Amino acid sequence: MSEEMREFRVWAPTPSEVRLDVDGTIHAMTADADGWWTAHVAAPADARYGFVLDDDPAVIPDPRSPRQPDGVHERSRLHSLDPTLWTDETWTGRPLAGGVLYELHIGTFTPEGTFDAAIDRLDHLVELGVTFVEIMPVNAVNGTHNWGYDGVLWYAVHEAYGGPDGLARFVDACHASGLAVVLDVVYNHLGPSGNHLAKFGPYFTEGANTWGQSLNLDGAGSGEVRRLILDNALRWFSEFHIDALRLDAVHALVDHTAVHVLEELAVETERLSAHLRRPLTLIAESDLNDPKLVTPRAAGGFGLDGQWDDDVHHAIHAAVSGERQGYYGDFGSLDALATTLRRGFFHAGTYSTFRGRVHGKAIDPRFVPASALLAYTTTHDQVGNRAIGDRPSAYLDDGQLAIKAALVLLSPFTPMIFMGEEWGARTPFQFFTSHPEPELARATAEGRIREFAEHGWSSEDVPDPQDPDTFLRSKLDWSEPARMRHARLIACHRALLTLRRERPEITDP
């Protein structure tokens, strides 16, 4: 491949010297006053490169690496999408209001676990009646498979799924089928393996959240940390034609600046949407029950388009299943279900026995439409965070599954289905990892066992997340939909979604 002069840049205010390694050759870099190091080097379009910081001989990947073909610890690779790949010139997008989402994990949605294999199943989603495909995180992680929430290189796409070209093919195929694409992104923490950001600059603060060290969003040097997030989000929209982002656990983003990073993202997304002339949607996951996320900026909110609503899930699940453990304790009565369906949040300035305090704030319907709340009977969390990853179909009968489906699909909220839910899949969705480091692998497995031992589960019952069979068990069985019991449930879901399309009062926001 022919070489041409290329610019390599990296923000690294911490080291006193940064050098560029391109295919094994070291080049000097020049720093500016803002901590950006630059070098212009002749290199092929697929060159492998990385950075050498001070006296450490290790070659570290680019924090904005577009591709990691050899793993998250190895050199980055230059990469640009082929513009001829795209055939969606006429795609005008979809608004969230009136939509139906379908959450899936690329690695377990099909036996092959790739973007290309998922393309072959899009007809099933179209026939079902969904309009948005939401894929769990696909950015680069260490190991061959996991849920995706331990990513360390946010700009790269996991190679085992098909890399950046595979993702582009998937998005293009979805658009050809009339499906919008939601990408799950994680900006509140990084995974434990392959995270080198602290060596470059002040990416982290002293505080920590549930999953690791907090990102520096409001301290000295936070401007470039925020730009890492903002530029990444905008890249998915512009370069990969993504239609919406699901922002993982935004309650873990600690930002005390006057303009929260989420509001800043909403502003820049709206600007890009006007330029691209198609809807671009931001959907938050938060456990705060705070309507500020989806309240318009003109009314003092952040201006996001939607947020997951766990209260709807809890109210429906507890009422139908009878489970009352943990956070289900306040739910389960028909009054709780009615309250949640009427006002969106059950805990809206009310006492939460699970938290031991007052929780949430009431939604003002003048500013927040019902369509801004996403409702579901199950998600990857609500299944995978159970001890054995058992789906509701493992302990509820078909009538109960149909009741749950009707309550969500005919609700005033934007409904979401978790992969396989529509046919009552008998396969579990368990917590799985593939950490190559023995110590990390052992700590992950022991931590999982310890977590559930506190609730009476034996170590033999809790699947080892590092066991490859835990991952393989979680793959959907596509022979199931043809069987009578499963076919009836699919027909039920299709009928409910048809009714939702045909009756405008159901989707009236």
pLDDT along the chain (509 residues), means of 10: 91 98 98 97 97 97 97 96 97 97 98 98 98 97 93 96 98 98 96 92 83 89 97 98 98 96 98 98 97 97 98 97 93 96 97 96 96 97 95 97 98 97 98 94 90 86 94 98 95 98 93
Which candidate, 246, 109, 117, places its Cα nearest to that of 180?
Answer: 246
Do 52 and 62 touch, CB atoms closer than 8 A?
no
Do 283 and 240 touch, CB atoms closer than 8 A?
no
Q: How many CB atoms are located within 10 Å of the residue 274 CB?
A: 10
* 140 Cα distance to chain centroid: 13
Measured in degrees and rounded to the nearest 5, phi and psi for residue 409 equal -70, -20
Could you please report the per-residue DSSP string of 176-242?
HTT-EEEEEE--S---SSS--HHHHS--EEEEE-SSSEEE-SSSTTHHHHHHHHHHHHHHHHHTS--
For the chain, list the domains and their CATH numbers: 3-60 (2.60.40.10), 431-473 (no CATH)
Q: Please report the pLDDT score of residue 459 as a whole number.
A: 83
Sign of the C-alpha dihedral computed for residues 139, 142, 143 and 149 taken in this order = negative
Encoded tokens for 100 = 């139906």
Q: Are strands 306-308 and 357-359 parallel, antiparallel or unpaired?
A: unpaired
Measured in degrees and rounded to the nearest 5, phi and psi for residue 117 equal -70, -35
Which candidate, 134, 105, 122, places its Cα nearest to that of 177?
Answer: 122
Q: How far apart are CA 49 and CA 41, in angstroms?
A: 11
Which residue reads 């949430």 in tokens? 360
Q: Which residues are catalytic?
A: 248, 285
Q: How far apart are CA 468 and CA 470, in angstroms?
A: 5
Query: What single-letter amino acid sits at 241?
Result: H
Do 152 and 72 touch, CB atoms closer than 8 A?
yes
Angle at alpha carbon of residue 413, lines to 410 and 417, rounded to 5°: 70
Distance linking the first and last C-alpha atoms of the chain: 54
Q: Please report the pLDDT score of residue 432 as a whole number.
A: 96
Strands of 54-198, DSSP E: 76-77, 101-104, 132-135, 139-140, 153-157, 180-185
Angle at alpha carbon of residue 252, lines to 248 and 257, rounded to 5°: 115
278-290 burial, b for 16+ CB within 10 Å, e for fewer? bbbbbbbbbeebb
Q: Please report the pLDDT score of residue 208 as a whole number.
A: 65
**Run of H or E including 36:** strand 36-44
Which residue reads 């900006």 in tokens? 187
Q: Please report the pLDDT score of residue 285 as a whole number.
A: 98
227-261 burial, b for 16+ CB within 10 Å, e for fewer? ebbbebbbebbeebbbbbbbbbbbbbbbbeeeebb
Give 3's DSSP letter.
Answer: E
Give 258's DSSP letter.
Answer: S
Rounded to the nearest 10°, the torsion over CA 465, 469, 470, 472 is 130
